[in-house]
Structure 1
């Protein structure tokens, strides 16, 4: 953790000792570690990691996340140098350029393509479940969460499934870095891997996601090679971690709440609403923004150039934004809920529809194919913080004799 002096424009009562990568208690409860900030001011400054603001109240997180005019997405993350090196498209672009890049990407994720993927996701989930069912135990993270979403994404971009372990490690280093690889090394590893596929898709487009996007214009012109690399780099990293983290959190909820398992088994029509509510309840994504002008908020001035960290958990679990936010009520998902799990505004996650479909399919297939699960009485659940928080181990047990 790199600590810095507090700038003159930051009031002393807004300074906290909080490392976003390792807040106290994160190893056992990601959500409690973060919601501790809800007891203080709505905007705080930490001296950790070079010094930056943290949106610490739900309304402020959502307001600033959506403020694309005054807060730029170019910085990408608190990790020093990450934004300057990665230069993701469309994630790190703003204004008209962002719209021009985002439009073909969104079309590549059109609902008809997501719908067409669903049978394959169902089949992949069933195959994984069949391999686990008779074991009576598993570590859900390594045996399912790190396999199904990644395989779906790798099929989507049409790269070899045997590359999953290698690519998974790159995704983890972007969102939860441990210092074992430099930012430059991470970018180079991704580019070296992707280039043969990009070159082929630009020359001979296929039916995969990259081909669909690169076949569409950026405004009124084709993609340049540099832009294609930056876009594919963005989607690769975006697909390697976030859904795996979310599916892990959903499985953890099921293990801790056997009543919810039974309810959804008996009322499968509730599963889409349950998926929406569980995605609201267990958000782990955060974004960074840098101010391009002075911004007045919560009685504080965010100065031009200041970095602001916006964790979705502090919007979704703020009692001022949601009634009893830490409780899961599946009927809450029956009506549109303005949570921030997938972002808000111009930069809302382009893969939100795919992620939702995967969570729904997971719930449908897991509950249909597995007996009631619970947490192992002898092994602990572990978690890790970062720009995407996640469980690193979810030890599950079940009575294999009761398998469907």
Structure 2
């Protein structure tokens, strides 16, 4: 299997490749991955769901790579974050942040999200194409997560740039440098917050570190960097992918324009249809595990192709069709089990508000370029558009 991110056709539409791989076998060994020994790729829905929740698939990257030589220079705060831990460490870290992302907590943020969305859309020109990614999908979730954490407004442009560089596939030096920039920035911001405490999530995490000592200093920096990056990356790609899917399916778009109340219930189908997460984060087997009738020996990396699993015809009838009336709850975009994305309620709230305002304010929105000319980000972990030029006219 060649490196898929090098293939523009795969980036544009990975689903035929996923379908062919799944048809061969929903779990198979592929000659890519860590250490030069390859990985096991999971493309079936049931197999992916099982793998995501199986405690024998560890996320402890430090343990897996211990003793292995690497030319990478990722900052430890990025290389060893909460996503790269197992219980009980993962349980302890996750418990510190879940309260800020509950449905109730997110509901309190909705007025701020709505005001921010309106402010961004107010700047859109109506006499020339606008890049929806650059002018909405990127800044909206960055502003929201920075507001939640307590990142000062003058610093947010740098945070946005460094976060984007972390996903610069094929540019390891850029990724490594961005990891240090983010970690160094967060270390400095923590020091400022200690001198002048506030009420943001970052302040509460510092209190947990300094008061109850439930966090080491390294864990504090790592957790804050993770929240900054993960807190907007999924939403950015969700917004771009969802708008493109709707523009390419006029009947479904018309349905939401006539019945905007259905936007909330349509989000799961949009998340399933073109998942903003392409491949789940790193896992490896701590003992032999059988998935889909295939035995994976201990010590092997396992790549769970979320995008492939969400299009499995064994789980979703006519999976390549966008059907907003489909009951798509149960998709794997936010994961499954103890590692399910803690920020899922916030991502869905941001998408819900943004789509409502887009459809209300710009009822004639359309693609400004042919779909085949759109460019996609060159990364295996996430799936998202580099740009999405649209033409709009006010309601």
TM-score, structure 1 normalization: 0.86
For 1:106 and 1:347, how far apart are their aligned partners in 2? Answer: 12
Contact kept? 1:261, 1:372, Cα under 8 Å: no
Deviates more, 1:199-208 or 1:150-159: 199-208
1:222-371 equivalence runs, <5 A: 222-285=214-277, 286-287=279-280, 288-333=282-327, 337-371=329-363
**Cα pair distance change 1:216/1:323, threshold 3 Å:** farther
CA distance in 2, matches of 1:45, 1:301: 10
Find out whether 1:196 has 2:188 as its counterpart: yes
Alignment equivalent of 2:41, drawn from 54, 66, 85: 54
* C-alpha distance in structure 2 between counterparts of 1:157 and 1:139, whole Å: 27
Given that 1:75 and 1:84 are in contact with CA atoms closer than 8 Å, whether structure 2 keeps it comes out as no
Distance 1:317 1:142 in 2: 28
Shift of 1:273: 0.5
Is the counterpart of residue 43 in structure 1 residue 30 in structure 2? no
**CA distance in 2: counterparts of 1:315 and 1:84, whole angstroms:** 32
Question: Any residues of structure 2 matched to 1:184-223 within 5 Å, and which?
Answer: 184-202=176-194, 204-216=196-208, 221-223=213-215
Q: Which residue of 2 aligns with 1:7?
A: none
CA distance in 1, matches of 2:195, 2:157: 28
Whole-Å separation in 1 of the counterparts to 2:288 and 2:73? 24
Q: In 2, are the aligned partners of 1:168 and 1:241 still within 8 Å (CA)?
A: no
Q: 1:291, 1:271 → 2: CA distance? A: 39
**C-alpha deviations, 1:155-191, integer Å up to 9, x for none?**
2222234444433333233334231525543321111
> Cα 1:224–1:56, aligned 2, differ >3 Å: closer, same or farther?
same
- Among 91, 102, 105, the alignment partner of 1:99 is 91
Q: Distance in 2 between matches of 1:253 and 1:58?
A: 22
Q: Once superposed, what is the RMSD of the aligned Cα atoms?
A: 2.7
> Are the structure 2 counterparts of residues 378 and 222 from structure 1 closer, same or farther at C-alpha, using a change threshold of 3 Å?
closer
**Change over 3 Å in CA distance of 1:268–1:340 after alignment to 2:** same
Partner of 1:332, secondary structure, is: coil
Structure 1 residue 377 displacement after superposition: 4.1
- The 5 Å alignment of 1:129-140 reads 129-132=121-124, 134-140=126-132
Evaluate the alpha carbon distance shift between residue 266 and residue 247 of structure 1 in structure 2; reply closer, same or farther with a 3 A threshold. Answer: same
Query: How far apart, CA to CA, are the structure 2 residues paired with 1:221 and 1:55?
Result: 39
Q: Is the CA contact (8 Å cut-off) linking 1:126 and 1:369 kept in structure 2?
A: no
CA distance in 1 between partners of 2:309 and 2:298 (Å): 24
Do 1:167 and 1:240's aligned partners in 2 also have CA atoms closer than 8 Å?
no
